[in-house]
Chain A
């Protein structure tokens, strides 16, 4: 298949991607680069991966026709229920894949970074499953605001290390995980939680998450008599749930791809994580992509109410999709996300993760026709965000 949207043989999506890493990381990344495709596409790997996704994660996740929401927005709205996966988000699709990868590369120790804690929990979970030691780096700010997930990781046997550098959020946790990897080049695999980092991570993580759009296609065919929706909507932190939801539709032009990025208090407020709106090309965490930076090339501190979207970059795939116009990127503020979250609670009886609420908020912003079919990727559930939801309830509720 020749397409402009998948990765090329040099690890680039158009102008974005690559592996901009210090020599200290080269050997680690090179082992992955040379082996990931062969391992993933082997029958043995696929068999084990698929079995675990089915029996352990609970896939396929339902594609749910949201009737009241559909009526409200006067269109056919489906929710892809990644929130119903084991551990409560899409993150586990990737961690299952990567732990199997780590085992096949002979690695015996796992590290990860986490923002919302969902990826940390998903990593701690698969480490428990496989009996491997697990260290999760997490910004001190995120440890505060996602406390339940910290407890979950610890219960699962992971060591959670607080990161106090920089903005004390996801970017800094990622730096610290990379430094750990530099210091443990032989035995350790780094399970990155999104489609970010040096090649081959963006492609590898996208492949593991692509099960989302694979299922959407067959489920939609069964339920709506068509394979291709008119819209697929997903939130973008680093972009893994979006990559998974878009994957099998990227080369189908009639499917509109909508990426919701976190505008925080507004894209011009100085408190935002809307990378596409205000970022510029540069290098972050080993990848050439769009990122938020000042005129001197220093990476600036992002802000979002949602810890999982509080990241100053996006995966190179999404930089490419945005720059080519293939995906439409919509900034969603904290307030808009909260409103969309409350709406789903009351209208469908589902408490979405704050990250996913950003995707839901796009429904209001699109000009939909009654016969439009729209799939919103509900990337995770909101248990971890209860406190934020409750503290921000509009008065009188």
Chain B
């Protein structure tokens, strides 16, 4: 079967909306109902965060959601149990995102096989070194038809961007500014310069822009240069209060372009 991420980017070249949220937050069993609600609201792709005790690249909102999710009992095993019903309920691509240590303890091979069997399409492990992926896991992931997605930042050198573009599966995750998740975001003019530079590199892989993307205006700003955006912190804030379904619908409604 064709990978759902690849299929999405074939079908849609602009305005892709991917939403990140922490599995097991606010309640342990919210993972799948939220996935449903997001798909129904018109979201194109999901990034399910696997909570970690020490999320180095995340700001306070995702840190707290991770802490609560862990306290709720969320872990990779529980997440996989929840995802056993994934493909009965959700058709859009799903990416699992988490730090390396929990995946390492689970066993990378077991993790990848299980994820693939459950209908997961891609994985993001921000602290997995490129070399280690290439040497140890690339073959495994490719065999399982799982995309391993890598990040680039405004500080990533051109050579390295090209190497990452070649290695990254499905798309390239462009961090919009030098910051952890949930910061006030980049100065719009700086972001534009960066995205223009990326667009001019002709990377042959779609680019999604994440970190500091919160509003409809952010989406419109990215539109000329990239295939779409990833929204995380702003969504987690939205579902932290009130009815998660209602919050999801109105949050996504406000993001429509």
Q: Which residues of A contact B (CB under 8 A)?
A: 18-28, 165-166, 171, 175, 178-179, 182-186, 280, 282-286, 293, 295-300
Tell me if A185 and B178 are in contact (CB < 8 A): yes
Q: Which residue of A lies closest to B150 (CB)?
A: A23
Q: Which residue of B lies closest to A300 (CB)?
A: B53
Stretch at the interface among B41-49, B86-94, B103-111, B192-200: B103-111
Q: Is B203 an interface residue (CB 8 A)?
A: no
Q: Is B33 an interface residue (CB 8 A)?
A: no
A298 and B150 alpha carbons, distance in the complex (Å): 23
Contact of B127 among A20, A165, A171, A293 (CB under 8 A): A20
Return chain A residues, CB-CB under 8 Å to B175: 23-24
A166 and B128 alpha carbons, distance in the complex (Å): 23
Tell me if A298 and B129 are in contact (CB < 8 A): no
Give 10 A-B pairs besides A283-B104, A299-B53 with Cβ atoms closer than 8 angstroms.
A23-B153, A26-B155, A27-B156, A165-B60, A179-B180, A182-B57, A182-B179, A183-B183, A284-B101, A293-B105
The digit string for B55-87, where 1 denotes a CB below 8 A from any CB of A, is 011011001000100100001110000000000
Tell me if B178 and A182 are in contact (CB < 8 A): yes
- Looking at the assembled complex, report how far the CB atom of A385 sits from the nearest CB atom of chain B, in whole angstroms: 27
- Looking at the assembled complex, report how far the CB atom of B253 sits from the nearest CB atom of chain A, in whole angstroms: 31
A185 and B154 alpha carbons, distance in the complex (Å): 10
Max chain B Cβ within 10 angstroms of own Cβ: one of A22, A286, A293: A22
Contact A166:B53 (CB < 8 A) given known A293-B101, A298-B70: yes
Contact of A183 among B63, B76, B152, B180 (CB under 8 A): B180
Contact of B102 among A18, A184, A297 (CB under 8 A): A297
Q: Which residues of B contact A (CB under 8 A)?
A: 52-54, 56-57, 59-60, 63, 67, 70, 75-77, 99-106, 126-129, 132, 150-153, 155-157, 160, 164, 175, 178-180, 183
Closest 3 CB pairs of A and B: A297-B105, A297-B102, A27-B155
Tell me if B152 and A296 are in contact (CB < 8 A): no
Tell me if A22 and B101 are in contact (CB < 8 A): no
A286 and B183 alpha carbons, distance in the complex (Å): 22
Return chain B residues, CB-CB under 8 Å to A21: 56, 127, 129
Q: Can you report 10 residue pairs joining A to B where beta carbons are below 8 Å apart? A: A21-B127, A22-B56, A22-B126, A22-B151, A24-B151, A28-B155, A182-B180, A183-B180, A286-B127, A296-B77
Tell me if A24 and B54 are in contact (CB < 8 A): no
A95 and B150 alpha carbons, distance in the complex (Å): 34
- Looking at the assembled complex, report how far the CB atom of B108 sits from the nearest CB atom of chain A, in whole angstroms: 12
A18 and B131 alpha carbons, distance in the complex (Å): 11
Tell me if B102 and A22 are in contact (CB < 8 A): no
A-B residue pair count with CB separations less than 8 angstroms: 108
- Looking at the assembled complex, report how far the CB atom of B166 sits from the nearest CB atom of chain A, in whole angstroms: 15
A293 and B99 alpha carbons, distance in the complex (Å): 14
A291 and B241 alpha carbons, distance in the complex (Å): 35
Return chain B residues, CB-CB under 8 Å to A171: 54
Q: Which residue of B lies closest to A183 (CB)?
A: B179
Tell me if B59 and A179 are in contact (CB < 8 A): yes
Return chain B residues, CB-CB under 8 Å to A25: 56
Return chain A residues, CB-CB under 8 Å to B160: 26
Return chain B residues, CB-CB under 8 Å to A286: 56, 127
Q: Which residue of A lies closest to B154 (CB)?
A: A185
Return chain B residues, CB-CB under 8 Å to A280: 105
Return chain B residues, CB-CB under 8 Å to A175: 54, 56
Tell me if B129 and A178 are in contact (CB < 8 A): no
Tell me if B75 and A296 are in contact (CB < 8 A): yes
Return chain A residues, CB-CB under 8 Å to B127: 20-22, 283, 286
Contact of B105 among A24, A26, A178, A296 (CB under 8 A): A296
A68 and B254 alpha carbons, distance in the complex (Å): 76
A295 and B101 alpha carbons, distance in the complex (Å): 11
- Looking at the assembled complex, report how far the CB atom of B25 sits from the nearest CB atom of chain A, in whole angstroms: 15
- Looking at the assembled complex, report how far the CB atom of A365 sits from the nearest CB atom of chain B, in whole angstroms: 32
Q: Which residue of B lies closest to A295 (CB)?
A: B105
A165 and B59 alpha carbons, distance in the complex (Å): 11
Tell me if A282 and B57 are in contact (CB < 8 A): no
Contact of A298 among B52, B128, B151, B180 (CB under 8 A): B52
Tell me if A24 and B104 are in contact (CB < 8 A): no
A304 and B94 alpha carbons, distance in the complex (Å): 42
Tell me if B76 and A296 are in contact (CB < 8 A): yes
